[in-house]
Structure 1
Amino acid sequence: MSEFDSGDDLFDGLDMDQILASQPPASTGNLKRTCDRETEANDRDNRLKKQRNNGRDIINQNLFPDDGVLKELQPENLAQMEVAQKLLTETFGYSSFRHEQAGAIGRILAGANVLTVFPTGAGKSLCYQIPATAFPQLDLQDASRKPGEHGITIVVSPLIALMKDQVDALKRKKVPAECIDSTKTWEQQQEIYAALREGKLRILYCAPERLNNEGFVATMRHVRGGVRLLAVDEAHCISEWGHSFRPEYLKVARFADEIAAERVICLTATATPKVVDDICNAFKIPAEGVFRTSAYRPNLNLHARAVKTKHDKYPLLFQFLNENPGPTLVYVTLQQQSVLLAADLREHGFDAEAFHAGMKVDAKTEVQDKFLANRIRIVVATIAFGMGIDKPDIRNIVHFDLSSTIEEYCQQVGRAGRDGNTANCMFYICPDDRYIRENFARGDLPSRKSLKGLLVDIFGENAAKPVGDTFKTSHYVQSRDYDIRQSPLAIIYAALELRFGLIRAITPEYSEYKFTATPSYFARMKTDRSPVGKAIYANATKKSILHHVDLTAIISRTGLPRTDLVRALNELHDTGLIELKAGGIEQKYRILQPLPRPDTPALAALVDDLHADLARREADALRRTQQVEDLVTGDRCLALALAQHFGMGLPDGKSQCGHCSHCLTGRRVVMPPKQVREPDLAGIRRILAACDVRDDPRFLARIAFGIKSPRVIRLKMHNHPVFMTLADHDFETLIREFEKACDGVAE
């Protein structure tokens, strides 16, 4: 999964007009009508100071553009922006808005929907934090609402760590904010809901997965004062054309309607014209509600070098690091690769450490803290590094591998030079890089046989259930049994829910509860006369050290509500009487329409539709990687190519930045050709001899190519000597050869 970055306020104290520049966006979809508001935005604060509450001295300005025609700022809009300006200064500590912030905030306060496309660090969060804190003051000014009736701003964000950082920062500014997530205890959640009932909370952060919780949706639907604003962070995740598509994000637009959110702001740092269109269509955002700032950074030097093999990159990297001092991030693809490359760098005298998602939290925190404090110079990292890293003096970004998307590359180079000083970004590329990216892409498309088996499992017995009934399933078990990775499995379920309207995800449940008991637990439970307490004490079976609680069995015997039993177990944990461990999560779904039965034309059509969609996604993933290669090896300015990918251009219509590798050398980066191999039939036979599977040619091709999947791992084929022996072959050719070997068995 790609890393999501929504770090803000990292350009503080800088002259942003010289660091960032914008160009009119390309005339595509919603971008066609968005105009370049950079120049007007630079003067907004001065204009606001010249205006008066009576509106007599109002001058034309571009807070609310409509087809390029400037509207006058009405007295009520002026009053709103004066409150916003005061909050900006007194609460958030900034003297003036930057670029498109004022326009976006003004439009939100006027009650309209907004999309902001600002580069990483350009202050996206203020665009919803200021309206959220302005609503109470504005309500009291116009006497439209009573105290406590000011409503809530909900922020949907994909990263718990960043949500917590934002909440902590807001609390330091005396802004009532909370984050509701899986780490919260039952008591903490009750405190949050109490603050909502009492109208004391201004901003509530949650993950998109929270929207499957029926209780949460119902609470937000009836929250005191209503939902004044729904902020959708990392909004590109909603677009199936986006680089970080997440199925759960598809439900956010439905959530906005269900809770009757008064207005919506979507925020992203990376959005192509097609992604902008998708976001705008989902949330009913007109073209005049799109606010963009160019991703071009004149202080970043974008360089690229092509070599024949991976090994050829090492001396170039060592030379680059010797010639370019300062804090440096080196991005690689694989976790183990980060460890090995960091070790290689240390052997050559460089101060380097690895960082990847598989490290323990304490180890990752230590590396981050040392890098921020300049106690280590180089971090060799996977995409896991960068979330919320507030380090303005990063001087170098090195891509040692091929990025998965142009958007990922843009986010990562955007972490350099946030202090406005020159930074160098080097991209090393070779034909070998394609393998890892193809490996990732090819692992997500299941065979038709696997897909049909999954659908039969989902619908099977459940097809006899009436509309409105529910069923539970384990995604983990289905992934294992039908050889489908978790990511495509989530996409399949999202399609069944949102495209076909067959089911709806509701609050998931844990199937297993275990705990270790303290002596106080027994003393307490022996005297507990409540039905729930007696049921837990009587039915908690000790196995070795842990006590096991079978909730399904207890509910069957006693008829007690599951919620009461879970709450009691959480209370015992929160009070220190037990140490509770929940596991075996089961997803739960409500049936919305009669489900197709196995071996019917309806199910066969569904298999065909879903398989075609997943095949398209595989092709899209391969195409996005090819786009990165084309960007790096193209015969034009790298900075221009990057800007044009996002529907924009360079300042003043320039065709060259003058400081990228193409501009400096006048030549394109040429990728050495990849050798095309004829099928190794002997290698095919060795794999067939090692594995007796004959029902899935794609599975056999994965073994040959070196792609792990649930079935490959279950059969331990990833440890067999034949695994990855044909990695230098074309994957489609391998599938065709194994189809022949399987006597023409179709996928």
Structure 2
Amino acid sequence: MQQLLQSHFGFSEFRPGQEQVVTAILNGQSAAAIFPTGSGKSLCYQLPALCLPHLTLVVSPLLALIQDQINFLKSKGIAAASIDSAQSREEANDVMRGVRTGEIKILMISVERLNNERFRQFIAEVAISLLVVDEAHCISEWGHNFRPDYLKLPRYQQELNISQTLLLTATATPKVIQDMGSKFGILPENVILTGFYRPNLHLAVKGVRSNEKIDVLSHWLQSRLNSSGIIYVTLQQTAEQVAAQLSARGIAAKAYHAGMSSDVRQSIQHEFMSGGQGIIVATIAFGMGIDKSDIRFVVHYDLPKSIENYAQEIGRAGRDGGESDCLVLANGDNLSTLENFVYGDTPEPSGIAVVLKEIKKAASNSTGSANPQWEIVLNSLSNQSNIRPLSLKTLLVYLELLNIIKPTYSYFAEYKFKFLIPEAEVVEYFKEERRDFIRALFSTADRAKIWSSVNFDALNQHYASDRQRVLKAINYLDEKGMIELQSKQMTQVYQVLDSQFDEQALTVTLSSRFSDKEVSEVARINELVALFTSTQCLSRQLAHYFADEQMIQDCGVCSACRGEPAIFPPALYVKPLNEYDFHQVCSAAVVKLGTACTPVLLTRFLCGLTTPMFTKLKMRSCPGFAQFEKYRFADVKSWATTNLPGMAML
């Protein structure tokens, strides 16, 4: 291990925790590395990958994070690659060839890649030594970035016969740590925590009125103009505004957010990484995968979403060990915005009922079958039920946990191909039975001028063959450059385990579960406010929140320790809701929504929250949209509930 550490990575010794994790992996055990941001979690799989006999498969939540890791590994002479949607067909095929031959030791993918039938068919044929789950807190419903697709990873581990798993995260509470470990059967002694506290980060929270923020920030930056730093904001338009205001004051700052084109974002990121641009004003779209060691400050111009998000974002500062400042400009003005994001994700009972009816319908259409199946296209079901796609995925996971449905497989409903060499040449490439099969595959395809679509049913009538053989054949032809293959319309197939459920009772149960999650998320915001307004040591509270019991003394340098606890200024005045004319504000929306209009749906409209139905009806252009975005969701809902019945009678 020491030799590899020196020869490949240029380090003479391990950082805290690394050697324990690497040893566990090389001893054939699974492990979890819970280290602070920038503490070298990645080495815990990179070094073992050089020793393990087969592929190391790394699942990561973000493309930028994957690309950053690939570049680092290649710079160290380690054969690593990724498969992602940004690649050309030729690039993806080259990677697959490298994986098959064993030339590539580390393959990095997003968790969504495992929903791809073609990819699963390919990876099932590859021997895998280690599954690495980056940002592993995403697997826990109690984590701050819960992603339902992560819940499928234990099943994929079993299906792909991967004997070992390594979980990596920087931000996990005790509850999340226990949840992660149990899902992958990791022994408690192989869960390695190195402590959360980093003494080089100086935390400060300052209560500032919204209209004074830019003045306070400009003054604070004057002594830091030659340093690299990130200023985090909540909204894209705020990023543009703050960057422009700072530039007007002679402080060179650039905005960065997901609304920009990919080329512009990459250019700004490159400038920042190379030192050409010192200050970035960004939404949280900027940060994941940013491995710049000399970031000297992180400012939160708006409140972060949660303590976990705050910890992750300040963790990007001072990775070189140098002194770094982390400032929050705090007030309660955007608390309503943060809360409203939570309410926007909660499905209405009527939407849940639509999904349950579809399950019953699928089961009744499979009368006589021992294993009735339910096929869905996520976006279509999202539009039909008016439930956001991520919330719909969560609902489907809840139904799995209640043993109502069981995921079996997913597939693309359509496979299209066009010939890159004459069809006759492709057929003649094969001999005997294989030639007959390929000829039947082509002859039964649905033909258009250039593209043809595989017709599985027609093929099966003329030439008995299972779906997997067809997929293997068309993927092979694609890899060989004989055809160009395209696949679309992802269809997920579930087995209906229980179709005798009580629709009404189950709707109430599921609605209650989402309500509990809603309460939990709002409580998370309140925990954040409690931390920032506390008179106790900020660093010590943060460490304990993340299961670090090693910090038993106050840091002495945070704003609370210095006797400067944050006091939130009084909230901005907003006109009482009962002084608004309900008919004047809401009539256009009520008419446009028609019979679908409910107090909750109207509240989402008034608070500026989007739903699939709003997109379809173009509600953003309707008068009144987002008029009450500064108000609390619960207050607007109460106002709408009181007034809507009276309007319906007019």
Equivalent residue number for residue 562 of structure 2: 664
Equivalent residue number for residue 146 of structure 2: 245
For 1:333 and 1:484, the matched residues in 2 are separated by 23
Equivalent residue number for residue 540 of structure 2: 640
Amino acid at match of 1:684: F
Equivalent residue number for residue 319 of structure 1: 219
Structure 2 residue 417 is the aligned partner of structure 1 residue 500? no
**Structure 1 residues 687 and 475, CA, compared in 2 at 3 Å: closer, same or farther?**
farther
For 2:375 and 2:526, the matched residues in 1 are separated by 40
Match of 1:243, SS? coil
Amino acid at match of 1:276: I
Deviation at 1:344, TM superposition (A): 1.9
**Matches for 1:647-658 after TM superposition, within 5 Å:** 647-649=547-549, 651=551, 653-654=552-553, 656-658=554-556
Amino acid at match of 1:602: D
Moved more, 279-288 or 246-255: 279-288
1:306 and 1:672 in contact (8 A); partners too: no
2:16 to 67, 91, 99: 99
1:738 to 631, 640, 646: 640
1:650 and 1:657 in contact (8 A); partners too: no
1:640 and 1:650 in contact (8 A); partners too: no
For 2:646 and 2:370, the matched residues in 1 are separated by 40
For 2:162 and 2:426, the matched residues in 1 are separated by 44
For 1:571 and 1:276, the matched residues in 2 are separated by 45
For 1:671 and 1:650, the matched residues in 2 are separated by 34
**Structure 1 residues 730 and 382, CA, compared in 2 at 3 Å: closer, same or farther?**
closer
For 1:304 and 1:373, the matched residues in 2 are separated by 30
**Matches for 1:285-684 after TM superposition, within 5 Å:** 285-308=186-209, 310-325=210-225, 326-465=227-366, 466-468=369-371, 470-500=373-403, 502-504=405-407, 506-509=409-412, 511=414, 524=422, 530-533=439-442, 539-541=447-449, 549=452, 551=454, 555=458, 564=470, 575=481, 583=488, 585-596=489-500, 601-649=501-549, 651=551, 653-654=552-553, 656-673=554-571, 678-680=576-578, 682-684=580-582
Match of 2:4, SS? helix
Deviation at 1:235, TM superposition (A): 0.8
Deviation at 1:524, TM superposition (A): 3.4
Amino acid at match of 2:560: H
Deviation at 1:703, TM superposition (A): 1.8
Q: CA RMSD in A?
A: 3.3
Match of 1:395, SS? strand
2:608 to 706, 716, 734: 706
Moved more, 158-167 or 436-445: 158-167
Match of 2:266, SS? helix
Amino acid at match of 2:208: V
1:693-732, CA deviations, whole angstroms, 9 ceiling, x for partnerless residues? 3552200111222222222232333222222333344322
For 2:159 and 2:266, the matched residues in 1 are separated by 39
1:659-685, CA deviations, whole angstroms, 9 ceiling, x for partnerless residues? 211222344434425668754264433
Deviation at 1:100, TM superposition (A): 0.7
Deviation at 1:398, TM superposition (A): 0.9
Amino acid at match of 2:56: T
Amino acid at match of 2:493: Y
1:304 and 1:632 in contact (8 A); partners too: yes
Deviation at 1:104, TM superposition (A): 1.4
Amino acid at match of 1:282: K
Equivalent residue number for residue 138 of structure 1: none
1:181 and 1:207 in contact (8 A); partners too: yes
1:237 and 1:245 in contact (8 A); partners too: yes
1:185 and 1:574 in contact (8 A); partners too: no
2:416 and 2:452 in contact (8 A); partners too: yes
2:298 and 2:314 in contact (8 A); partners too: yes
For 2:19 and 2:220, the matched residues in 1 are separated by 41
**Structure 1 residues 688 and 194, CA, compared in 2 at 3 Å: closer, same or farther?**
closer
**Structure 1 residues 333 and 729, CA, compared in 2 at 3 Å: closer, same or farther?**
closer
Deviation at 1:120, TM superposition (A): 1.3
- Say how many residue pairs are matched: 626
2:66 and 2:289 in contact (8 A); partners too: no
For 2:479 and 2:27, the matched residues in 1 are separated by 47
Q: Which runs of 5+ in 2 are unaligned?
A: 428-438
1:148-177, CA deviations, whole angstroms, 9 ceiling, x for partnerless residues? xx3332222222333243334334434343
Equivalent residue number for residue 131 of structure 1: 48
> So what's the TM-score if we normalise by structure 1?
0.76
Match of 1:664, SS? coil
1:235-282, CA deviations, whole angstroms, 9 ceiling, x for partnerless residues? 101111111111011111222333343222211011111111111211
Moved more, 331-340 or 185-194: 185-194
For 1:617 and 1:739, the matched residues in 2 are separated by 22
1:37-64, CA deviations, whole angstroms, 9 ceiling, x for partnerless residues? xxxxxxxxxxxxxxxxxxxxxxxxxxxx
Deviation at 1:195, TM superposition (A): 5.0
Deviation at 1:191, TM superposition (A): 5.3
For 1:551 and 1:611, the matched residues in 2 are separated by 41
For 1:105 and 1:608, the matched residues in 2 are separated by 47
Match of 1:155, SS? strand
For 2:259 and 2:354, the matched residues in 1 are separated by 32
Amino acid at match of 1:111: G
For 2:584 and 2:615, the matched residues in 1 are separated by 19
For 1:160 and 1:510, the matched residues in 2 are separated by 26
For 2:442 and 2:514, the matched residues in 1 are separated by 48
Match of 2:342, SS? helix
For 1:275 and 1:525, the matched residues in 2 are separated by 55
**Structure 1 residues 373 and 501, CA, compared in 2 at 3 Å: closer, same or farther?**
same
For 2:291 and 2:25, the matched residues in 1 are separated by 27
Deviation at 1:222, TM superposition (A): 5.9
For 2:415 and 2:636, the matched residues in 1 are separated by 42
1:525 and 1:534 in contact (8 A); partners too: no
**Structure 1 residues 511 and 219, CA, compared in 2 at 3 Å: closer, same or farther?**
closer
Deviation at 1:131, TM superposition (A): 1.9
Equivalent residue number for residue 147 of structure 1: none
Match of 1:349, SS? coil
Amino acid at match of 2:556: G
**Structure 1 residues 683 and 581, CA, compared in 2 at 3 Å: closer, same or farther?**
farther
Equivalent residue number for residue 89 of structure 1: 6
1:353 and 1:380 in contact (8 A); partners too: yes
Equivalent residue number for residue 178 of structure 1: 81
For 1:173 and 1:657, the matched residues in 2 are separated by 37
Equivalent residue number for residue 64 of structure 1: none
Amino acid at match of 1:128: Y
Q: Which runs of 5+ in 1 are unaligned?
A: 1-83, 136-149, 542-546
Amino acid at match of 1:524: P
1:155 and 1:206 in contact (8 A); partners too: yes
Deviation at 1:494, TM superposition (A): 2.2
For 2:162 and 2:425, the matched residues in 1 are separated by 48
**Structure 1 residues 470 and 461, CA, compared in 2 at 3 Å: closer, same or farther?**
closer
Amino acid at match of 2:627: T
> So what's the TM-score if we normalise by structure 2?
0.87
For 1:531 and 1:194, the matched residues in 2 are separated by 27
Match of 1:660, SS? coil
**Structure 1 residues 234 and 703, CA, compared in 2 at 3 Å: closer, same or farther?**
same
